[in-house]
Every structure is written in structure tokens, then in C-alpha cells.
Chains A and B, each alone.
Chain A
Amino acid sequence: MMKPTPSRTGGRAVRGMLAGLALASATALGGLTAQAQDVTTIRVLNWEPGGADYWKALVAEFEKQNPTIKVELETVPFDRYPEVQGPYITTKSGPDVMENNAGLELFDRRRAYAELPPEVLEAGKDLITYSGGCLNFDTTQPCYGLPFGYQGNVMYYNKKVLTEAGLDAANPPKTWDEMKIACDKVKAIGKTCVAIGLSGIFPAYWNFPEIARNYLTEDDMRAMLAGKMPWTDPKMVNILKGLASITEAGWTNSSAPSITMLPDGADIFQSGNAAFAGTIISDAVNWAAFGKILGDENLGAMRWPTIVADAPLADSFSGIESSVFGVTEWSDKKDAAFQFVKFMAGKENAELLSKVAGGISLNKNVDPSALPKSEALGQILEIIKKPTLHAGVLLSGQEADALARGWQEVALGRLTVEDWTARMQKALEQSPSKRQ
């Protein structure tokens, strides 16, 4: 019997080692593959409503509850969101879950969203409302997204500035005439009365609805949504006149025509250089954010002063489900994505929203004691008790743009309200979603 030569022994050993290595690699790779197959990563396009801390907590909680799903966030600033989302929708590719404002903005983009299946819609039943995620605000029609927070407009005021101006901070102005008196006094101390930025979509979402409530009924607003309310209608013209009066009266900062409300306008208010700022109840620039900077004790929240005291909606709150989250039509991870949408509307997320972001949740099962203590928040909770439709989310992209640009020019004295009206009408006629 021939003894194996050392070299042969070595060759066999090497071959053995290689085989072992290959086997180990295959096992390891197999394990990795199995693990990779087990974990589904979904990409969520969002503007981080509620802030970074809230979203960090939200993702952690979701991944804890759903260990097989990993969330990858693609966060875009709110005022740049349409420009980022548009190309995704046009090319039918990109994130698995997307955020949109409830109402027309979502309806316009409904082709990009998968219709919510009944098991996901079940989660909507725990919400005060979810109609803004359904076609024409009708829950019997297809729904494309579920909301999680309540959103809408209020006017914040800086008590310190009001006191400095010789005003009663406990009784902020309730009517347009009172506002005029207040603004004259604020201007007299060298401060801005109403911090505002007329660039971007903020005039449409944050200012327009508050003037519109003085002239429109809910039926008028539904007609607006359907494109059946011309801008030449006296009610609509009055809204434009109301907006114009804010800047024409000199209540605002001189930079208003060339800045955006977020961050520039909000900065003016936060810096203590303005008495009032019309923003929103949840998400960014809300009572929590302002309170943190100005001090909770210096911050108050009120309904916008009324122009027409006996208007049916004069004392209402322009409320809307905040943003809604839906699953993209092109996603190949729909189950996991729907799971995320369901979580967003759920109780656990609602509690995080209140605790971490100071937001106001739509979920009915949230313990009220979970809400932080703040005077401004207390005032907001009173204001939102009488909600109405939010006229801002009923404007098309063209209308929102024409509203902002027109107002900028009116503020600078380069455009009349009549010409602004004509531009708004043209914008309505050019709105793909409102063409009859």
C-alpha cells in the first residue's frame, strides 16, 4: 500500500479546508438570505410632522411591534414636498408609503395610491374622522390614506408683546376692528403686529381658510372642491379683499411678500418681534414649539378675529385631519406598508404624538391626561370643539400658487383685488382636478 505523500496529504487538507469553508460560507449566506427575506424594509416619504424626536420614537415603536418590518424614512421639508413627490408619482416609482395633506391634495394624487383594504380601514373607526383620506370627503367612497393627528388653524399671540403695547393679554382681539386697534398699538412700540410670509403654499393653507370662514358656508366649500364656485362670486372676492386688508393695513412685516411663513415668518414671531402669528395646532410651529421658545406663560392661542360676526362659520375651527399616510400603487411590499398605515392611525402612535410631539391626535382612545399641560393647548382644545371644513385643502395647486403670488403683488401695491380675482379664476380654470 502506497503511503500518501505529504504533498498529497497537504492537497487533501487544503481541499478539505476549502470545502469546509465553502460549506460554512453557504450556510452563513443561506442564513443571511433567510434573515434578509424575513425582514421587509419599507421606505416612507414624509415631512416629519411632529418633529424628529417623535418620528424616532414612532419608528422604534413600530419596529418593536413589527420585528419583520424595517422603516427607512425619506424626510423632506414641508414646503418642498410637492417637488420631491411629483417626480416619484410621474415615474411611478419610489417610496412604499407616502404622506399627503388630506383633501384635494390627496385626491389629486389618488392614482399614486392603492385603495385601502377593509382590514386597514378598520383602524379608521377609532378616529374622530378619516373622511379627508377618502374621495370627496366621503367614507363610502374609496379611501387612499389614514390620518393620525388633528390639524387646523389658530392665531398665536405673544402676551409679553401685547402687555408691552398696553393691551390686555387676557383678552386678545376678537373682531377685525379690535385687531386694528391692537395692531396700531403694537406698531407704536416698533414691533410687527402679524408675522407673516406670503411665499409658498402657506397663505393658502394657513391664512385663506380663516378669512373664508367669514363668507362661505360648508356647501360653498363643497362647491369649491367640485370647481363650481367661481372666484368672481362676491363671496370669493370678499375673501380676497379680507386677505388684502391684512397687508394693506400695514399689520405685517415688510418682508412678507418675499419670505415664507415657515421658517421666516415663524422666526419673526419666535424672536419676540411680533404680537401675532397665524399658524397651526399640530406638527411644526405649534403651541409646543412656540411655548418652548417664548415660554408657555407668554403664549396664547385664539381663533382668528372675525370680519363678519354673524357669519355661520365665524366661530368655527378650520379643522382637517392632519396629513394622511397611504400605500403607493407601485409598492411591491404592500402588506408591510399597509401595516405601517394602520399603525399610524393606532392608539400607540396617538399617545406618542401627544407625549413626544405635543400633537393633538384623532384617536378616540387616547387618555386625555396624556396631554401636556399648557394654557395655549387648553385654549386650542376649546377652539377645536366646533369644527368646520378647512377651505385651504380645497384649493388646487394652481389656485394656491395664484393666491400667494397675487397676494404678494397686492401687498406691494402692484395689483388690484379685481386683477387678483381674474388671476384666481384663470387658475381655477387651469386646474386639472377642477376642470368640469
Chain B
Amino acid sequence: MAELANLATGDGAARTAARAKRPLVRRDMLVAALFVLPGLALAILFKLVPLVRTIWLSLQETRGFEDPSFAGLANYRTMLDDPAVHDSFRNALIAFATLPVWIVLPLVLAFLLFQKTPGWKFFRAAFFLPYMIAPIVVGIMFRQILAPDGPLNALLRTIGLAPLAIEWLNGPTSALLSLTAVALWSFFGLGVLTYLSGLSTVSEEVVEAAKLDGAGFWRLLFHIIMPLLKPVIGYWAVLCTSGILIWMFPLIYALTKGGPGTATVLPEFLVFTTTFQFLDRGLGAAIGMALFLFVALVSAFVVRRMYVEGAKPK
């Protein structure tokens, strides 16, 4: 009986303790919720609501600025039939195909800086400088530089490379590649900086040991540095993917306006012109949704290939 009484007393004590703990758990949850809620509210307000509104707008027929009417999937059908839309997504894929250059070029430069190549302090600042210039200014600048009679072609002619002095912004492929190259010029400084921060975690002994084993620059880069920097490379790849697909607008706007023809029209530019220049908000929203899905798929692919695999421990 006494044991039973003790047990009862013990149970009672445990229950009391549990009761005492319960409010604490609730308080923890409350604090957690307080931390999460603002972010959640912002995400709902500025991400989910606009997304739902865009989906709804893409199902509307809009005549200029008149009130829209429900049109079902008509805008999506129009979009699928529109050659300009096809061109824009084809251009996006071509631009995306340059991703390896976006990844490797800053890495090579960062590794050169890391190795304290002569003039590395100057180049560290110089490489980052283009990133500090507003993209719209970069676009205006390169419109002059890449003109048929502009400084780049003048330089090429002067140094005896006249055959290379092409009309950079007039050709269907050269215009898109010029645009992408200008974007890369504007963006790569950030990549160099990102890689440098990653390289600062690489042990000098590892590099020295590899050098003693006879590893040259490229072997060091590809067999030692790249595996060690895989998570950083993954992060940079995701950043570049979004840069190529959804951050090119100011450059397109200032440099080519999407021309000649549709050679440099990317989907984001088409969303803007369709919505605000053609006043077809419904169709603009439909193209925007297609772009959203496209970027989501491509980003998922890049994250899977570059980031997740890169982050796996060996």
C-alpha cells in the first residue's frame, strides 16, 4: 500500500512536473511562432498573394486598361501560338547554355588572386568595379562600345584583327551572345568575391602539398580547388541562373531593346512589353507564369546538380 502510495505520490509529482512544463513548451512555441510569423506574413503578402493574383490575371481577357473578363486558358493558347514567346524562351535557353563560362571564369580569376599573382591587389578591386556600375549604365556604355564604328571594332582594326570587327549587336546570335557577355562582365566581380571568400577556407597546406606533388595551375584548380569549393560553386551557379534568366532586363532595355527582331528578347522583357507597352495584362501574366515555371525547373535542376550534390560529404 505504501509502495502504491509512493507510486501514486510519484505519479502525482510527475504529473505536476509535466503540468509545470506544459506552459513552458507553449511559451517556446509562441516565441517560435513570433519569429516565424513575420517572415510567413511577408512571404504570403509579397510572394503568394502576387503569385495567386498573377495566376488569376492570366485567366482574364484584358482590353487595354478596361475591366478584365474571364477568358479561361485563352491567354495560354495565345502564348503557345506566339512566335515571339517561342523566340524568347529559345533565347533564354541559349543564354543559360553559357552558364559554365559564368561559373568557371570567376573561379579561374579568383584562384589567380588567391595565389597572389602579381598585381593581385589591383585586380581584386578592378574585377569588382563593374559590379558597382548600375546595369542600365552598363547597357548604355556598351551600346557605344559595341557599335559597328565603336571603340571595340576600332581597336580590333588597329591591331590587325579586322575580320573580328563584326556588327556585334546586329547579328541574331552575336547580339544575344554580346548581351550575355556584357551581363557576365557586369556580374563576374561578385563571383570572384564569392569564390575568394570560399578560397579563404581552403588550407594553404593542401595547396602547397599538391604543388610539391607537381600539380600545375589547372590540375590544382580542377582536382583540388573545385572539389573543395563545390558548395560555393553550387551557390554561385544558382545565383547565375537567376541572373541570366530574370535579372537581365535593364541590360536588354538599355542595350538592344530585345532587337534586332526578337534576337535578344528574353521572357522577362516580353512580360514587361506585353503588359505595359501592349497593354495586354492577361497575356503578360500568362507569359510571366510560364517564365516562373521555367525558372523553377531550371533552378531545381541546377540546385540538384550543383548545390545538393556539391554539399554532400565525400
Contact = CB atoms under 8 A, between A and B. Distances in A.
A53 B231 CA distance: 56
A435 B259 contact: no
A412 B170 contact: yes
Nearest to B169: A258
Interface string A380-406: 000000000000000011100100111
B255 to A, nearest CB: 9
Contacts of B64: 108-109, 111, 432-433
Contacts of B66: 111, 432
Given A82-B277, A108-B279, A432-B64, A254 B148 contact: yes
A255 interface: yes
B62 interface: yes
A341 B257 CA distance: 33
B78 A405 contact: no
A255 B170 contact: yes
Interface residues of B, number: 34
Nearest to B61: A432
Interface in B161-220: 167, 169-172, 175
B256 interface: yes
A258 B278 contact: no
B149 interface: yes
A373 interface: no
A408 B171 CA distance: 11
Q: Mostly helix, strand, loop or mixed at chain B's interface? A: loop
Contact of A255 (B62, B149, B277, B281): B149
A435 B63 contact: yes
B63 A405 contact: no
Contacts, number: 102
Interface stretch (A30-38, A84-92, A172-180, A290-298): A84-92
Interface in B41-90: 62-66, 78
B140 to A, nearest CB: 10
B147 interface: yes
B197 to A, nearest CB: 37
A430 B257 contact: no
B278 to A, nearest CB: 4
A263 to B, nearest CB: 10
Contact of A398 (B259, B260, B278): B278
A199 interface: yes
A239 interface: no
Nearest to A273: B149
A111 B65 contact: yes
Interface in B249-301: 253, 256-262, 272-273, 275-281, 283
Interface string B233-255: 00000000000000000000100
**5 nearest interchain CB pairs?**
A86-B276, A258-B169, A408-B260, A409-B261, A257-B260
Interface of B: 62-66, 78, 143, 147-149, 167, 169-172, 175, 253, 256-262, 272-273, 275-281, 283
Given A109-B64, A431-B278, 16 more contacts: A86-B275, A109-B279, A111-B64, A111-B65, A257-B259, A258-B170, A258-B175, A397-B279, A405-B259, A405-B260, A408-B259, A414-B261, A430-B78, A430-B278, A432-B63, A433-B64
